[in-house]
């Protein structure tokens, strides 16, 4: 299995560029955003998450596994968290590189935290008590 790295560059002219590189290959563009702020970077992180998850599926299901569209609000929400945590200090003209293993682990941990938080909220709603309201 060849190592895969993702590089996110905060461009001098503004905006962000994400590239993906398999060990031994040249980097190739994965996503570009025009905005210079973190929400624009988060949109690119969605593409990185999809690429990482597709590669994981291909390892398990074979090379014919297709990319799956972004489902629901979880991937976009996690991409905003990732951008906020990992990219907030990246200045214009600088870049940061992540391995696919790092991104997959980060995604799994964050997904588990989100699932636990959702479970707690749902349990809290069920265990709440009803209050009788007196008419005027």
Print pLDDT tens along the chain (136 aa).
689 999 999 999 989 999 999 999 999 999 999 888 999 999 999 999 999 988 887 777 766 656 565 555 688 889 999 999 999 999 999 999 999 999 999 999 998 888 887 777 777 665 555 455 566 5
User: What 8-state DSSP symbol labels residue 81?
Assistant: H
Structure tokens, 27 = 């980097």
Task: Give every CB contact of residue 1 below 8 A, 6+ residues apart in sequence.
Answer: 59
| Domain range annotation of the chain | 4-121
Q: Give the three-state DSSP class for 99.
A: strand
Confidence at residue 65, expressed as pLDDT on a 0 to 100 scale: 57
Contact 43, 80 (CB under 8 A): no
Q: In what order do the strands lie in the sheet with 95-99?
A: 28-33, 16-22, 4-10, 95-99
């Amino acid at each position: 299995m060849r190592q895969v790295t993702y590089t996110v560059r905060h461009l001098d002219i503004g905006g962000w560029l994400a590239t993906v590189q398999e060990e031994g290959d040249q980097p190739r563009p994965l996503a570009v955003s025009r905005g210079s702020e973190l929400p624009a970077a988060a949109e690119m992180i969605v593409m990185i998450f999809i690429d990482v998850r597709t590669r994981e599926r291909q390892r398990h299901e074979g090379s014919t596994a297709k990319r799956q569209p972004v489902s629901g609000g979880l991937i976009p929400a996690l991409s905003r968290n990732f951008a906020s945590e990992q990219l907030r200090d990246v200045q214009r003209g600088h870049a940061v590189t992540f391995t696919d293993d790092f991104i997959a682990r980060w995604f799994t941990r964050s997904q588990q935290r989100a699932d636990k938080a959702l479970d707690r909220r749902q349990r809290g709603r069920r265990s709440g008590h009803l209050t009788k309201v007196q008419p005027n």
